């Protein structure tokens, strides 16, 4: 140690005799409420899961087997499939601290491309479907490019894109619906996701199976691949992610492109669900998907939450909608309760965030 630093550093000499044992702390007594809070912090998607199970049980008690039957429960799955698929795309974007208001428009546009390419130009239906999927991915790419490279706020980019795509959709389709019978006769592949598997009273459409498979694949990708970790890192703190070696722009563009592709799949599933290709359908998909994501516990500030939560969030909305309808309640009660749920979900999110570890 040199002369100059010697006198000023005497105090550090004691450090040489430091204790090396690993610090041990007594587990604090948390109490029941504290324990719950801690558990929710570790597993944020538990909140929507608990709400989902509780609402199924409550409606089951109130309506008995009318609600608690394989038919009614799988009906809920069929009713949420479109929102569920779109919400999966929305989750990815929201995890990067963005938002995608154009999801519904991309979905409808893709379904119109699939339908019109087949019926107006006589292109083979397989090629038209591929073109529809490509169309969704391309719009997603433009969104991603504007967000990542031009650095415009995602809200503005997708607000604009929503209007652009929706207007293009109406102009291109001339507001014409392709009827269900025609599709059934000439291009049944467009209705592929409408096929059902029935066992007992339960009816699962391919669209429902696709939604569930999609959520599981995305959950795997987010948790167990480098790409998934990068999505979280970018949403958490983009500058830190950039400095620690993440290609932020590429990650963002890939997320918006994937979201566009998933929305295009939702457009395909939409044809299966409603039978026809209609440029006026799916207008509320963007708001409904954001609702599912928020109720599912994904933070709008990015980087936190799990895609399983989104699935639970979409199902909660489905359970409330069907349950209240079976109760004979005015449909407005559904919207009122969903509004309460959204605010409660964010409240719970803030509460569980107060716990560290």
Partner 1 sequence: MEPILKARNLVKRYGKVTALDHCDFDLMPGEILAVIGDNGAGKSSLIKAVSGAVLPDEGEVFLEGRRVHFTSPIDARNEGIETVYQTLAMSPALSIADNMFMGREIRKPGFRGRWLRQLDRAEMERIARDKLSELGLMTIQNINQAVETLSGGQRQGVAVARAAAFGSKVIILDEPTAALGVKESRRVLELILDVKSRGIPIILISHNMPHVFEVADRIHVHRLGKRLCVIDPKDYTMSDAVAFMTGAKEPPAADIAA
Binding site for partner 1 (CB under 8 A): 1-2, 4-5, 8-9, 11-12, 15, 18, 20, 22-23, 220-221, 224-227, 229-230, 232-233, 236-237, 239-247, 303-304, 356-357
Q: Are 307 and 218 in contact (CB under 8 A)?
A: yes
Min dist CB 237 to partner 1, Å, is 6
Q: Which is nearer to partner 1, 184 or 236 (CB)?
A: 236
Contact present, 291 and 342 (Cβ < 8 Å): yes
Q: CA 216, 301, 319 angle in degrees (round to 5)?
A: 50
- Which lies closer to partner 1 via its Cβ, residue 18 or residue 29? 18
Question: Encoding tokens for residue 296?
Answer: 């599912």
Q: What's the DSSP call for residue 14?
A: G
Q: Are 103 and 263 in contact (CB under 8 A)?
A: yes
Quick one: three-class SS letters along 197-233?
Answer: EEECCEEEEHHHHHHHHHHHHHHHHHHHCHHHHHHHH
Residue 192 CA: distances (Å) to CA of 23, 79, 177: 60, 17, 18
Return the number of the residue (133 or 233) whose C-beta is nearest partner 1. 233
**Quick one: 244 or 332, whose CB is closer to partner 1?**
244
Of residues 83 and 92, the one with the C-beta less far from partner 1: 92
Closer residue to partner 1 (CB): 217 or 284: 217
d(CA 111, CA 276): 10
Q: How far is the CB of 23 from partner 1 (least distance, A)?
A: 4
User: H-type helices in 14-45, by residue range?
Assistant: 31-42
Cβ(271)–Cβ(191) below 8 Å:
yes
Which C-beta is closer to partner 1: that of 261 or that of 317? 261
Work out how close the CB of 114 gets to partner 1 at its nearest, in angstroms, rounded to a whole number: 30
**Cβ contact 277:190 at 8 Å:** yes
298: DSSP letter:
-
What minimum distance in Å lies between the beta carbon of 304 and partner 1?
Answer: 5
**Smallest distance, partner 1 to C-beta of residue 158, A:** 24
Residue 8 CB partners (closer than 8 Å, separation 6+) = none
Could you tell me which of 353, 292, 282 has the C-alpha nearest to residue 321? 292
Min dist CB 41 to partner 1, Å, is 10
CB of 30 vs partner 1, minimal distance in Å: 15
* C-alpha distance from residue 113 to each of 85, 136, 264 (Å): 19, 10, 10
Task: Name the residue nearer to partner 1 (CB basis): 245 or 328.
Answer: 245
**Are residues 307 and 88 in contact, defined by beta-carbon separation less than 8 angstroms?**
yes
Distance CA 123, CA 125 (A): 6
Of 39 and 284, the one with the shorter C-beta distance to partner 1 is 39
Shortest CB 225 distance to partner 1, Å: 4
Minimal distance, residue 230 CB to partner 1, in Å? 8
């Amino acid at each position: 140690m040199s002369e100059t630093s010697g006198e000023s550093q005497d105090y550090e000499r004691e450090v040489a005799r430091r204790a090396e044992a690993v610090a041990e702390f007594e587990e604090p007594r948390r109490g029941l409420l504290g324990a719950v809070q801690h558990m929710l912090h570790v597993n944020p998607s538990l909140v929507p899961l608990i709400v989902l199970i509780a609402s199924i049980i409550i409606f089951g008690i109130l309506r008995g087997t009318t609600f608690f039957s394989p038919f009614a429960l799988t009906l809920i799955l069929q009713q949420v499939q479109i929102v569920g698929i779109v919400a999966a795309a929305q989750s990815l974007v929201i995890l990067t601290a963005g938002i995608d208001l154009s999801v519904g428009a991309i979905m409808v546009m893709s379904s119109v491309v699939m339908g019109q390419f087949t019926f107006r130009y006589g292109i083979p239906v397989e090629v038209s479907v591929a073109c529809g999927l490509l169309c969704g991915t391309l719009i997603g790419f433009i969104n991603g490019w504007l967000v990542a490279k031009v650095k415009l706020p995602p809200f503005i980019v997708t607000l604009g894109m929503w209007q652009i795509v929706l207007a293009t959709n109406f102009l291109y389709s001339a507001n014409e619906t392709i009827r269900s019978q025609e599709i059934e006769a000439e291009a049944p592949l467009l209705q592929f996701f409408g096929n059902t598997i029935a066992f007992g009273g339960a009816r699962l459409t391919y669209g429902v199976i696709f939604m569930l498979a999609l959520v599981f694949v995305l959950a795997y990708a987010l948790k167990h691949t480098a790409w998934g970790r990068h999505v979280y890192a970018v949403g958490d703190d983009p500058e830190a992610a950039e400095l620690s070696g993440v290609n932020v722009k590429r990650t963002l563009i890939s997320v918006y492109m994937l979201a566009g592709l998933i929305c295009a799949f939702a457009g395909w599933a939409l044809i299966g669900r409603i039978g026809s290709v209609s440029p006026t359908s799916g207008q509320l998909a963007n708001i409904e998907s954001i609702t599912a994501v928020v109720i599912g516990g994904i933070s709008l500030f990015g980087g936190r939450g799990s895609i399983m939560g989104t699935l639970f969030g979409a199902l909660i909305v489905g359970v409330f909608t069907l349950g209240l309808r079976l109760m004979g309640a005015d449909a407005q009660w559904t919207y009122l309760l969903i509004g309460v749920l959204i605010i409660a979900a964010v409240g719970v999110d803030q509460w569980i965030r107060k716990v560290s570890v």
